[in-house]
């Protein structure tokens, strides 16, 4: 049999388009996305710290940029990514301890991660505006 015939008869490797999306799968993907988003957010925090060290004019410029509607949306997204990734890490820690592998427990933890991350992010921003 030729090499061409063997390649055509081999099964395709499973990928995301074959599987039916379930909540825990979506949460795994979101955990990876939020982890990548934290890199960008860390650059924003570092830029803010550099601006603080550079002097009052540059610091005012960066604060004005972060205080704009777009800047606040980006910072809100960064806050949510940070909280979501943290809670997702706690979910993984629970699994590392040997708990939460049952179907109901996995679903509950996934829903708690979503609801908790949104609620805590909103709470942090409400507290931030109240203190301000």
Distance CA 16, CA 22 (A): 11
What's the pLDDT tens digit per position in 54-98? Answer: 999 999 999 999 999 999 999 999 999 999 999 999 999 999 999
Annotated binding residues for heme, written as ranges, equal: 85
Query: Nearest CA to 113 among 90, 79, 93?
Result: 90
**Is residue 37 within 8 Å of 81, Cβ to Cβ?**
yes
Interacting residues of 111 by C-beta distance below 8 A, sequence separation 6+ = 23
What pLDDT score does 2 carry? Answer: 53
Annotated binding residues, written as ranges, equal: 85
**Residue given tokens 């960066």 in the structure block:** 62
Q: Which letter does DSSP use for residue 17 in this model?
A: T
Query: Nearest CA to 89 among 119, 109, 118, 115?
Result: 109
Structure tokens belonging to residue 91:
């979910």
**Residue 17 reports pLDDT greater than 80:** no
Q: Regarding the domain delimited by 22-131, which CATH topology (the fold level of the hierarchy) does it fall under?
A: 3 helical TM bundles of succinate and fumarate reductases (1.20.1300)
**Residue 13 reports pLDDT greater than 90:** no
Question: 20 pLDDT band (50/70/90 cuts)?
Answer: confident
């Amino acid at each position: 049999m030729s090499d061409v015939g063997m390649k055509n008869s081999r099964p395709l490797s499973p990928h995301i388009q074959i599987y039916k999306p379930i909540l825990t799968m979506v949460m795994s993907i979101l955990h990876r996305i939020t982890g990548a988003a934290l890199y960008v957010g860390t650059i924003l925090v570092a830029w803010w710290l550099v601006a603080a060290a550079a002097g009052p004019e540059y610091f005012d410029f960066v604060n004005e940029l972060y205080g704009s509607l777009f800047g606040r949306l980006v910072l809100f997204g960064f806050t949510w990514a940070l909280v979501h990734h943290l809670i997702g890490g706690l979910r993984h820690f629970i699994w590392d301890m040997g708990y939460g592998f049952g179907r109901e427990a996995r679903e509950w933890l996934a829903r708690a991660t979503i609801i908790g991350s949104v609620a805590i992010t909103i709470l942090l921003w409400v507290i931030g505006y109240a203190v301000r």
